[in-house]
Amino acid sequence: MGANLKRTRKPATAALTELEGIVLGMISTSGSCTPYAVRRKFRTSPSRYWSASAGAVYPLFTRLKKQGFLRAERKAGDGRGSRLFSLTTMGQRTLREWLGPPCPPAVTSVPPDPLRNRVALLAALGPAEQAQFLAETTSNVRAHLRELSTLTEQIKVKNDVSEFLVCRGAVRMLEARLNWLEEVSHYLGEAT
Amino acid sequence: MGANLKRTRKPATAALTELEGIVLGMISTSGSCTPYAVRRKFRTSPSRYWSASAGAVYPLFTRLKKQGFLRAERKAGDGRGSRLFSLTTMGQRTLREWLGPPCPPAVTSVPPDPLRNRVALLAALGPAEQAQFLAETTSNVRAHLRELSTLTEQIKVKNDVSEFLVCRGAVRMLEARLNWLEEVSHYLGEAT
DNA sequence: TCCATCATGTAAACAGTTACATGATTGC
DNA sequence: GCAATCATGTAACTGTTTACATGATGGA
Protein backbone atom coordinates (compact mmCIF):
# COMPACT_ATOMS: atom_id res chain seq x y z
CA MET A 1 0.00 0.00 0.00
CA GLY A 2 1.24 2.08 0.62
CA ALA A 3 2.63 0.22 2.81
CA ASN A 4 2.73 -2.56 0.41
CA LEU A 5 5.73 -4.52 -0.77
CA LYS A 6 8.33 -3.27 1.64
CA ARG A 7 12.00 -3.77 1.59
CA THR A 8 13.04 -6.51 4.01
CA ARG A 9 14.99 -5.47 7.08
CA LYS A 10 18.33 -6.95 6.23
CA PRO A 11 18.32 -8.01 2.62
CA ALA A 12 20.90 -10.55 1.43
CA THR A 13 20.79 -9.04 -2.03
CA ALA A 14 19.59 -5.47 -1.82
CA ALA A 15 15.85 -5.59 -2.50
CA LEU A 16 13.81 -2.86 -4.10
CA THR A 17 10.60 -1.08 -3.27
CA GLU A 18 7.81 -1.43 -5.78
CA LEU A 19 8.34 2.15 -6.86
CA GLU A 20 12.10 1.71 -7.13
CA GLY A 21 11.63 -1.40 -9.27
CA ILE A 22 9.24 0.41 -11.56
CA VAL A 23 11.58 3.34 -12.00
CA LEU A 24 14.57 1.13 -12.75
CA GLY A 25 12.40 -0.78 -15.20
CA MET A 26 11.21 2.39 -16.91
CA ILE A 27 14.78 3.55 -17.39
CA SER A 28 15.81 0.13 -18.65
CA THR A 29 13.05 -0.15 -21.24
CA SER A 30 12.74 3.51 -22.29
CA GLY A 31 16.30 4.69 -21.87
CA SER A 32 17.79 7.31 -19.58
CA CYS A 33 15.51 10.04 -18.31
CA THR A 34 15.05 12.76 -15.75
CA PRO A 35 13.09 12.38 -12.51
CA TYR A 36 10.53 14.76 -13.86
CA ALA A 37 9.91 12.56 -16.89
CA VAL A 38 9.09 9.71 -14.54
CA ARG A 39 6.68 11.90 -12.64
CA ARG A 40 4.97 12.89 -15.89
CA LYS A 41 4.58 9.25 -16.85
CA PHE A 42 2.92 8.48 -13.53
CA ARG A 43 0.62 11.46 -13.78
CA THR A 44 -0.71 10.36 -17.17
CA SER A 45 -1.09 6.76 -16.07
CA PRO A 46 -4.67 5.54 -15.59
CA SER A 47 -3.82 4.05 -12.20
CA ARG A 48 -4.30 6.54 -9.38
CA TYR A 49 -2.33 4.59 -6.85
CA TRP A 50 0.88 6.57 -6.82
CA SER A 51 0.88 10.31 -7.10
CA ALA A 52 4.64 10.12 -7.76
CA SER A 53 5.05 13.33 -5.80
CA ALA A 54 8.28 15.30 -5.93
CA GLY A 55 9.00 14.29 -2.36
CA ALA A 56 8.90 10.65 -3.40
CA VAL A 57 10.66 10.73 -6.76
CA TYR A 58 13.66 13.00 -6.20
CA PRO A 59 14.84 11.29 -3.01
CA LEU A 60 14.29 7.95 -4.75
CA PHE A 61 16.66 8.90 -7.55
CA THR A 62 19.37 10.10 -5.19
CA ARG A 63 18.87 6.94 -3.15
CA LEU A 64 19.32 4.68 -6.18
CA LYS A 65 22.31 6.69 -7.29
CA LYS A 66 23.95 6.41 -3.87
CA GLN A 67 23.38 2.65 -3.98
CA GLY A 68 25.13 2.48 -7.31
CA PHE A 69 22.12 1.49 -9.42
CA LEU A 70 21.91 4.75 -11.33
CA ARG A 71 24.42 7.14 -12.82
CA ALA A 72 23.71 10.76 -13.66
CA GLU A 73 24.96 13.10 -16.35
CA ARG A 74 24.21 16.75 -16.74
CA LYS A 75 21.94 17.67 -19.58
CA ALA A 76 23.81 20.11 -21.79
CA GLY A 77 22.40 23.63 -22.03
CA ASP A 78 19.85 23.41 -19.29
CA GLY A 79 20.01 26.13 -16.69
CA ARG A 80 17.82 24.16 -14.35
CA GLY A 81 20.49 21.56 -13.79
CA SER A 82 18.40 18.72 -15.16
CA ARG A 83 20.16 15.41 -14.90
CA LEU A 84 19.68 12.39 -17.11
CA PHE A 85 19.82 9.17 -15.12
CA SER A 86 20.77 5.85 -16.65
CA LEU A 87 21.24 2.32 -15.34
CA THR A 88 24.60 1.03 -14.19
CA THR A 89 25.52 -2.61 -14.72
CA MET A 90 24.73 -3.18 -11.07
CA GLY A 91 21.37 -1.48 -11.57
CA GLN A 92 20.63 -3.78 -14.51
CA ARG A 93 21.46 -6.82 -12.42
CA THR A 94 19.39 -5.62 -9.48
CA LEU A 95 16.44 -4.96 -11.77
CA ARG A 96 16.66 -8.46 -13.22
CA GLU A 97 16.72 -9.92 -9.73
CA TRP A 98 13.70 -7.88 -8.70
CA LEU A 99 11.76 -8.69 -11.84
CA GLY A 100 12.40 -12.36 -11.15
CA PRO A 101 11.83 -15.20 -11.64
CA PRO A 102 11.30 -16.40 -8.98
CA CYS A 103 8.21 -14.29 -8.45
CA PRO A 104 7.24 -13.72 -4.78
CA PRO A 105 3.74 -14.86 -3.74
CA ALA A 106 2.66 -11.33 -2.84
CA VAL A 107 2.91 -10.50 -6.53
CA THR A 108 0.78 -13.32 -7.88
CA SER A 109 -1.68 -13.54 -4.99
CA VAL A 110 -4.90 -11.57 -4.58
CA PRO A 111 -4.17 -7.92 -5.30
CA PRO A 112 -5.46 -5.20 -2.95
CA ASP A 113 -8.71 -3.51 -3.89
CA PRO A 114 -10.34 -0.62 -2.00
CA LEU A 115 -13.70 -1.40 -3.57
CA ARG A 116 -13.58 -4.98 -2.32
CA ASN A 117 -12.79 -3.65 1.16
CA ARG A 118 -15.87 -1.46 1.08
CA VAL A 119 -18.19 -4.14 -0.21
CA ALA A 120 -16.99 -6.34 2.64
CA LEU A 121 -18.36 -3.76 5.05
CA LEU A 122 -21.61 -2.95 3.27
CA ALA A 123 -23.60 -4.47 6.12
CA ALA A 124 -22.77 -1.34 8.10
CA LEU A 125 -25.17 0.56 5.84
CA GLY A 126 -28.92 0.35 5.56
CA PRO A 127 -30.53 -1.45 2.59
CA ALA A 128 -31.32 1.78 0.74
CA GLU A 129 -27.77 3.08 1.13
CA GLN A 130 -26.38 -0.29 0.06
CA ALA A 131 -28.41 -0.15 -3.13
CA GLN A 132 -27.29 3.42 -3.74
CA PHE A 133 -23.68 2.47 -3.14
CA LEU A 134 -23.87 -0.38 -5.62
CA ALA A 135 -25.64 1.71 -8.24
CA GLU A 136 -23.13 4.51 -7.96
CA THR A 137 -20.00 2.38 -7.92
CA THR A 138 -21.27 0.32 -10.84
CA SER A 139 -21.80 3.41 -12.94
CA ASN A 140 -18.42 4.83 -11.86
CA VAL A 141 -16.59 1.64 -12.77
CA ARG A 142 -18.42 1.55 -16.08
CA ALA A 143 -17.28 5.12 -16.77
CA HIS A 144 -13.67 4.25 -15.95
CA LEU A 145 -13.93 1.24 -18.20
CA ARG A 146 -15.20 3.29 -21.14
CA GLU A 147 -12.42 5.81 -20.67
CA LEU A 148 -9.78 3.12 -20.45
CA SER A 149 -11.14 1.27 -23.48
CA THR A 150 -10.75 4.30 -25.71
CA LEU A 151 -7.26 4.84 -24.32
CA THR A 152 -6.44 1.23 -25.08
CA GLU A 153 -7.57 1.66 -28.67
CA GLN A 154 -5.40 4.74 -29.05
CA ILE A 155 -2.40 2.84 -27.76
CA LYS A 156 -3.12 -0.15 -29.96
CA VAL A 157 -2.74 1.87 -33.15
CA LYS A 158 0.63 3.11 -31.88
CA ASN A 159 1.89 -0.47 -31.75
CA ASP A 160 3.36 -0.08 -28.27
CA VAL A 161 2.88 -3.71 -27.29
CA SER A 162 3.73 -3.67 -23.61
CA GLU A 163 1.73 -0.55 -22.85
CA PHE A 164 -1.16 -2.05 -24.76
CA LEU A 165 -0.97 -5.24 -22.72
CA VAL A 166 -0.89 -3.28 -19.47
CA CYS A 167 -4.03 -1.47 -20.55
CA ARG A 168 -5.63 -4.77 -21.44
CA GLY A 169 -4.85 -6.04 -17.96
CA ALA A 170 -6.46 -2.99 -16.39
CA VAL A 171 -9.50 -3.34 -18.67
CA ARG A 172 -9.93 -6.98 -17.68
CA MET A 173 -9.74 -6.01 -14.00
CA LEU A 174 -12.50 -3.45 -14.45
CA GLU A 175 -14.63 -5.88 -16.44
CA ALA A 176 -14.25 -8.50 -13.73
CA ARG A 177 -15.23 -5.89 -11.20
CA LEU A 178 -18.35 -4.96 -13.12
CA ASN A 179 -19.49 -8.56 -13.37
CA TRP A 180 -18.72 -9.02 -9.71
CA LEU A 181 -20.76 -5.95 -8.73
CA GLU A 182 -23.65 -7.46 -10.63
CA GLU A 183 -23.27 -10.65 -8.62
CA VAL A 184 -23.13 -8.62 -5.41
CA SER A 185 -26.30 -6.72 -6.33
CA HIS A 186 -27.99 -10.00 -7.11
CA TYR A 187 -27.12 -11.56 -3.75
CA LEU A 188 -27.88 -8.46 -1.73
CA GLY A 189 -31.09 -7.80 -3.61
CA GLU A 190 -32.27 -11.31 -2.83
CA ALA A 191 -31.45 -10.99 0.87
CA THR A 192 -33.73 -8.01 1.42
CA MET B 1 -0.34 1.73 -0.36
CA GLY B 2 0.87 1.31 1.53
CA ALA B 3 1.11 4.41 0.91
CA ASN B 4 -2.22 4.23 -0.67
CA LEU B 5 -5.33 6.17 0.21
CA LYS B 6 -3.89 8.75 2.54
CA ARG B 7 -5.67 11.10 4.83
CA THR B 8 -5.87 14.61 3.38
CA ARG B 9 -3.84 17.30 5.05
CA LYS B 10 -6.58 19.36 6.59
CA PRO B 11 -9.81 17.42 6.35
CA ALA B 12 -13.11 19.28 6.66
CA THR B 13 -14.71 16.18 8.13
CA ALA B 14 -12.06 13.97 9.63
CA ALA B 15 -11.18 11.40 6.95
CA LEU B 16 -10.00 7.87 7.56
CA THR B 17 -7.15 5.76 6.35
CA GLU B 18 -8.08 2.61 4.47
CA LEU B 19 -7.02 0.54 7.46
CA GLU B 20 -8.95 2.73 9.88
CA GLY B 21 -12.07 2.45 7.76
CA ILE B 22 -11.76 -1.31 7.59
CA VAL B 23 -11.32 -1.60 11.35
CA LEU B 24 -14.30 0.64 12.09
CA GLY B 25 -16.31 -1.39 9.59
CA MET B 26 -15.27 -4.69 11.17
CA ILE B 27 -16.36 -3.48 14.58
CA SER B 28 -19.61 -2.16 13.16
CA THR B 29 -20.55 -5.39 11.38
CA SER B 30 -19.10 -7.97 13.80
CA GLY B 31 -19.54 -6.18 17.11
CA SER B 32 -16.98 -4.97 19.63
CA CYS B 33 -13.62 -6.68 19.65
CA THR B 34 -10.02 -6.45 20.80
CA PRO B 35 -7.14 -5.23 18.65
CA TYR B 36 -5.74 -8.72 18.64
CA ALA B 37 -8.94 -10.11 17.15
CA VAL B 38 -8.56 -7.69 14.28
CA ARG B 39 -4.99 -8.79 13.75
CA ARG B 40 -6.11 -12.43 13.66
CA LYS B 41 -8.72 -11.63 11.04
CA PHE B 42 -6.10 -10.01 8.85
CA ARG B 43 -3.67 -12.88 9.26
CA THR B 44 -6.23 -15.42 8.07
CA SER B 45 -7.33 -13.24 5.18
CA PRO B 46 -6.27 -14.42 1.70
CA SER B 47 -5.02 -10.96 0.80
CA ARG B 48 -1.37 -10.46 1.72
CA TYR B 49 -1.44 -6.74 1.43
CA TRP B 50 -1.58 -5.77 5.09
CA SER B 51 0.38 -7.62 7.70
CA ALA B 52 -1.70 -5.81 10.33
CA SER B 53 1.37 -5.74 12.53
CA ALA B 54 1.14 -4.89 16.20
CA GLY B 55 2.86 -1.59 15.51
CA ALA B 56 0.07 -0.68 13.12
CA VAL B 57 -2.98 -1.98 14.94
CA TYR B 58 -2.45 -0.92 18.56
CA PRO B 59 -1.58 2.69 17.75
CA LEU B 60 -4.54 2.73 15.36
CA PHE B 61 -6.94 1.79 18.13
CA THR B 62 -5.60 4.39 20.54
CA ARG B 63 -5.75 6.94 17.72
CA LEU B 64 -9.39 6.19 16.95
CA LYS B 65 -10.23 6.24 20.63
CA LYS B 66 -8.57 9.62 21.12
CA GLN B 67 -10.55 10.96 18.15
CA GLY B 68 -13.74 9.78 19.79
CA PHE B 69 -14.64 7.09 17.26
CA LEU B 70 -14.09 4.16 19.60
CA ARG B 71 -14.79 3.49 23.24
CA ALA B 72 -13.06 0.85 25.34
CA GLU B 73 -14.19 -1.31 28.21
CA ARG B 74 -12.08 -3.68 30.24
CA LYS B 75 -12.73 -7.33 29.65
CA ALA B 76 -13.66 -8.88 33.00
CA GLY B 77 -11.29 -11.46 34.41
CA ASP B 78 -8.42 -10.97 32.03
CA GLY B 79 -5.07 -10.33 33.62
CA ARG B 80 -3.64 -9.12 30.35
CA GLY B 81 -5.76 -6.02 30.43
CA SER B 82 -7.53 -6.86 27.21
CA ARG B 83 -9.92 -4.15 26.16
CA LEU B 84 -13.03 -4.53 24.07
CA PHE B 85 -13.49 -1.63 21.68
CA SER B 86 -16.86 -0.60 20.31
CA LEU B 87 -18.12 2.19 18.06
CA THR B 88 -19.33 5.49 19.43
CA THR B 89 -22.15 7.35 17.69
CA MET B 90 -19.52 9.62 16.20
CA GLY B 91 -17.60 6.55 15.02
CA GLN B 92 -20.73 5.21 13.36
CA ARG B 93 -21.29 8.49 11.56
CA THR B 94 -17.65 8.72 10.47
CA LEU B 95 -17.77 5.17 9.14
CA ARG B 96 -20.90 5.94 7.12
CA GLU B 97 -19.23 9.01 5.67
CA TRP B 98 -16.14 7.02 4.72
CA LEU B 99 -18.11 4.16 3.26
CA GLY B 100 -19.97 6.68 1.14
CA PRO B 101 -21.73 7.31 -1.14
CA PRO B 102 -20.27 9.37 -2.72
CA CYS B 103 -17.48 6.98 -3.59
CA PRO B 104 -14.13 8.62 -4.45
CA PRO B 105 -12.66 7.85 -7.90
CA ALA B 106 -9.58 6.20 -6.41
CA VAL B 107 -11.88 3.46 -5.12
CA THR B 108 -13.65 2.64 -8.36
CA SER B 109 -10.72 3.27 -10.70
CA VAL B 110 -8.06 0.78 -11.76
CA PRO B 111 -6.76 -0.97 -8.64
CA PRO B 112 -3.01 -1.37 -8.09
CA ASP B 113 -1.44 -4.64 -9.15
CA PRO B 114 2.22 -5.63 -8.65
CA LEU B 115 1.94 -8.25 -11.38
CA ARG B 116 0.73 -5.68 -13.90
CA ASN B 117 3.68 -3.48 -12.94
CA ARG B 118 6.09 -6.31 -13.67
CA VAL B 119 4.52 -7.27 -16.98
CA ALA B 120 4.83 -3.64 -18.02
CA LEU B 121 8.60 -3.98 -17.63
CA LEU B 122 9.05 -7.41 -19.16
CA ALA B 123 11.00 -5.91 -22.05
CA ALA B 124 13.90 -5.55 -19.62
CA LEU B 125 14.29 -9.33 -19.72
CA GLY B 126 15.43 -11.59 -22.54
CA PRO B 127 12.88 -13.68 -24.48
CA ALA B 128 13.71 -16.89 -22.59
CA GLU B 129 13.37 -15.19 -19.21
CA GLN B 130 10.13 -13.57 -20.32
CA ALA B 131 8.69 -16.96 -21.20
CA GLN B 132 9.87 -18.37 -17.90
CA PHE B 133 8.35 -15.46 -16.03
CA LEU B 134 5.00 -15.93 -17.74
CA ALA B 135 4.99 -19.68 -17.18
CA GLU B 136 5.85 -19.34 -13.54
CA THR B 137 3.43 -16.55 -12.72
CA THR B 138 0.64 -18.31 -14.58
CA SER B 139 1.08 -21.45 -12.54
CA ASN B 140 1.37 -19.44 -9.33
CA VAL B 141 -1.81 -17.52 -10.03
CA ARG B 142 -3.56 -20.79 -10.89
CA ALA B 143 -2.44 -22.24 -7.56
CA HIS B 144 -3.74 -19.22 -5.66
CA LEU B 145 -7.01 -19.50 -7.54
CA ARG B 146 -7.45 -23.16 -6.63
CA GLU B 147 -6.74 -22.40 -2.99
CA LEU B 148 -9.14 -19.50 -2.96
CA SER B 149 -11.86 -21.47 -4.71
CA THR B 150 -11.90 -24.17 -2.04
CA LEU B 151 -11.92 -21.45 0.63
CA THR B 152 -14.87 -19.84 -1.12
CA GLU B 153 -16.78 -23.11 -1.10
CA GLN B 154 -16.11 -23.55 2.61
CA ILE B 155 -17.44 -20.07 3.30
CA LYS B 156 -20.46 -20.58 1.07
CA VAL B 157 -21.76 -23.47 3.20
CA LYS B 158 -21.43 -21.26 6.28
CA ASN B 159 -23.89 -18.79 4.72
CA ASP B 160 -21.73 -15.76 5.52
CA VAL B 161 -22.95 -13.71 2.57
CA SER B 162 -20.60 -10.75 2.66
CA GLU B 163 -17.48 -12.83 3.23
CA PHE B 164 -18.59 -15.08 0.41
CA LEU B 165 -19.02 -12.12 -1.90
CA VAL B 166 -15.58 -10.78 -1.01
CA CYS B 167 -14.09 -14.15 -1.89
CA ARG B 168 -16.01 -14.15 -5.15
CA GLY B 169 -14.54 -10.76 -5.96
CA ALA B 170 -11.03 -12.04 -5.31
CA VAL B 171 -11.69 -15.16 -7.39
CA ARG B 172 -12.90 -13.05 -10.29
CA MET B 173 -9.76 -10.93 -10.07
CA LEU B 174 -7.54 -13.99 -10.26
CA GLU B 175 -9.55 -15.44 -13.13
CA ALA B 176 -9.26 -12.17 -15.03
CA ARG B 177 -5.55 -12.23 -14.39
CA LEU B 178 -5.18 -15.75 -15.70
CA ASN B 179 -6.99 -14.90 -18.92
CA TRP B 180 -4.92 -11.79 -19.23
CA LEU B 181 -1.66 -13.70 -18.77
CA GLU B 182 -2.77 -15.96 -21.59
CA GLU B 183 -3.30 -12.91 -23.77
CA VAL B 184 0.12 -11.60 -22.79
CA SER B 185 1.78 -14.91 -23.64
CA HIS B 186 0.01 -14.92 -26.96
CA TYR B 187 1.18 -11.41 -27.91
CA LEU B 188 4.72 -11.91 -26.67
CA GLY B 189 5.00 -15.34 -28.25
CA GLU B 190 4.01 -13.88 -31.59
CA ALA B 191 6.52 -11.05 -31.35
CA THR B 192 9.53 -13.34 -31.07
C1' DT C 1 6.69 42.17 -19.71
C1' DC C 2 3.99 38.96 -17.56
C1' DC C 3 2.37 34.57 -16.49
C1' DA C 4 1.72 29.77 -16.75
C1' DT C 5 4.23 25.80 -16.94
C1' DC C 6 8.57 23.22 -16.54
C1' DA C 7 11.70 21.29 -13.34
C1' DT C 8 14.31 20.52 -9.18
C1' DG C 9 14.35 20.10 -4.64
C1' DT C 10 13.40 20.33 0.73
C1' DA C 11 10.74 20.03 5.27
C1' DA C 12 7.36 18.24 8.28
C1' DA C 13 3.95 14.84 9.08
C1' DC C 14 2.27 10.30 9.06
C1' DA C 15 1.00 5.46 8.52
C1' DG C 16 2.75 1.16 8.38
C1' DT C 17 6.77 -2.14 8.82
C1' DT C 18 10.21 -5.04 11.45
C1' DA C 19 11.87 -6.24 15.83
C1' DC C 20 11.85 -6.52 20.54
C1' DA C 21 9.97 -6.80 25.35
C1' DT C 22 6.79 -8.46 28.69
C1' DG C 23 3.39 -10.75 31.06
C1' DA C 24 -0.85 -14.12 30.98
C1' DT C 25 -2.83 -18.36 29.60
C1' DT C 26 -3.11 -23.04 28.11
C1' DG C 27 -1.70 -27.77 27.24
C1' DC C 28 1.42 -31.47 28.17
C1' DG D 1 6.91 -27.09 35.98
C1' DC D 2 7.73 -25.82 31.28
C1' DA D 3 7.13 -24.48 26.77
C1' DA D 4 4.29 -22.63 23.24
C1' DT D 5 1.04 -19.48 22.26
C1' DC D 6 -1.96 -15.52 23.42
C1' DA D 7 -2.09 -10.69 23.83
C1' DT D 8 -0.57 -6.02 24.55
C1' DG D 9 2.46 -2.75 23.69
C1' DT D 10 6.84 0.21 22.36
C1' DA D 11 10.99 1.85 19.54
C1' DA D 12 13.41 2.74 15.48
C1' DC D 13 13.02 3.09 10.67
C1' DT D 14 11.29 3.91 6.01
C1' DG D 15 8.70 5.50 2.07
C1' DT D 16 5.22 8.48 0.61
C1' DT D 17 2.31 12.48 1.05
C1' DT D 18 1.26 17.46 1.29
C1' DA D 19 3.05 21.88 1.07
C1' DC D 20 6.32 25.16 0.14
C1' DA D 21 10.33 27.41 -2.20
C1' DT D 22 12.98 28.64 -6.15
C1' DG D 23 14.59 29.39 -10.51
C1' DA D 24 14.27 28.51 -15.86
C1' DT D 25 11.62 28.44 -20.01
C1' DG D 26 8.32 29.68 -23.53
C1' DG D 27 4.40 31.91 -25.40
C1' DA D 28 0.93 35.98 -25.42
Q: Is pLDDT above 90 for A33?
A: yes
Q: What is the mean pLDDT of residues B132-158?
A: 95
What pLDDT shows up at residue B184?
A: 97
What pLDDT shows up at residue B192?
A: 52
CB contact under 8 A, A116 and B170: yes
Q: Is pLDDT above 50 for A6?
A: no
Look at residue A14 and give its three-state secondary structure: coil
Residues of chain A in contact with residue B49, where contact means CB-CB under 8 angstroms, are: 1, 4, 106, 111-112
What pLDDT shows up at residue A101?
A: 79
Q: Is pLDDT above 60 for A98?
A: yes
CB contact under 8 A, A176 and B176: yes
What pLDDT shows up at residue B80?
A: 75
Q: What is the mean pLDDT of residues B125-147?
A: 96
**Which comes out higher in pLDDT, residue B13 or A92?**
A92
Through-space separation of residue B192 CA and nucleotide C14 C1' in angstroms: 47
- Who contacts B108 (Cβ-Cβ below 8 Å, separation ≥6)? A115, A137, A140, A141, A144
Segment B51-65, tens digit of pLDDT: 999 999 999 999 999
CB contact under 8 A, B107 and A118: yes
Least confident stretch, A44-48, A139-143, B73-77: B73-77
A8 pLDDT tier (thresholds 50, 70, 90) = very low
**pTM, to two decimals:** 0.91
Return the bridge partners of A72, or none: A85
Q: Is pLDDT above 60 for B163?
A: yes
Which nucleotide comes closest to A6 if you measure CA to C1'? C17
Q: Does strand C come within 7 Å of the CB of B18? A: yes
How far apart, in whole angstroms, are the C-alpha atoms of residue B33 and residue A127?
25
B101 pLDDT tier (thresholds 50, 70, 90) = confident
**Phi, psi for B72 (deg, rounded to 5):** -120, 145
Which nucleotide comes closest to A36 if you measure CA to C1'? C7
Q: What is the mean pLDDT of residues B114-128?
A: 96
**Average pLDDT along chain B:** 90
Q: Is pLDDT above 50 for A105?
A: yes
Through-space separation of residue B39 CA and nucleotide D5 C1' in angstroms: 15
Segment B65-90, tens digit of pLDDT: 999 999 999 877 776 778 999 999 99
What pLDDT shows up at residue B14?
A: 62
What pLDDT shows up at residue B123?
A: 96
Residues of chain B in contact with residue A191, where contact means CB-CB under 8 angstroms, are: 161
